[in-house]
Amino acid sequence: MTIHEKLSLIQQEFKSNKWRYNSFSKYNFRSAKEILEVLKPFNKKYKVYFTVNEKYLGDGVIESAATVFDADGANFITATALVGVDFNQKGMQVPQQFGSASSYGKKYALGNLLLIDDTADSDATNTHNKSKSKPKLLKGSESWTKAITFVESGGALNAILSKYDVSSDDILTLKVHEPKWNNWKA
């Protein structure tokens, strides 16, 4: 079996719950450490191993690379993620700012390699025949302008998603306005 076939099977079988909870922003999440823990059984099953490496690119940008290797080390597949260090993060020292960005980078590189999505299971999305429609968030509307301002000021995107029906393209647009993304230096 090729490394590509092995990775395809791992991507199909991989499941990692969001065990951690951010009480400040009120959302569940998974950490890179937890993702790696869930991957360990695949090492033996498919005779592979995983690594995550980082490189500082300067100007507050870290590149994280998640790699799956065949056990012999000859063949591998890598996925990367770029994250910016938020030097304006209140209450954090510079090492903590880098550590936070590093954690995000590792998690997103692993997510890119393993095709981790945030699809909820059927129990989470089942309304049990109760109508729970949310208004659509439309570009150009007053609500859209307020949503952009909210995200730019550090508001949680999940708060908007819990209130409005937002298209996947519009979610990406809102994410670009998050302070951690729009403070990057070119």
Q: How far apart are CA 138 and CA 124, in angstroms?
A: 25
Q: Which residues of the chain have pLDDT under 70?
A: 19, 22, 25, 118-132, 178-186
The answer to whether position 177 is within a domain reads: yes
Q: Say if residue 96 is in the same domain as residue 16.
A: yes
pLDDT confidence of residue 168: 75
Q: Say if residue 24 is in the same domain as residue 88.
A: yes
The answer to whether position 120 is within a domain reads: no
Q: Which amino acid is at 99?
A: G
Give Cα 118 distance to the centre of its chain. 9
Q: How far apart are CA 96 and CA 34, in angstroms?
A: 20
Enter the pTM of the model: 0.60
pLDDT confidence of residue 25: 67
Percent of the chain with pLDDT over 90: 34
> What range defines the domain where residue 81 resides?
3-114
Q: Residue-wise over 144-168: b if at least 16 C-beta within 10 A, else e? A: beebbebbeeebbbeebbeebebee
Q: Say if residue 146 is in the same domain as residue 106.
A: no
Q: Say if residue 142 is in the same domain as residue 66.
A: no
pLDDT tens, position by position, 145-173: 888 888 787 777 777 888 888 887 777 77
The answer to whether position 33 is within a domain reads: yes
The answer to whether position 165 is within a domain reads: yes
pLDDT confidence of residue 110: 94
Q: Say if residue 61 is in the same domain as residue 107.
A: yes
Structural domains counted in the chain: 2
Q: Say if residue 14 is in the same domain as residue 41.
A: yes
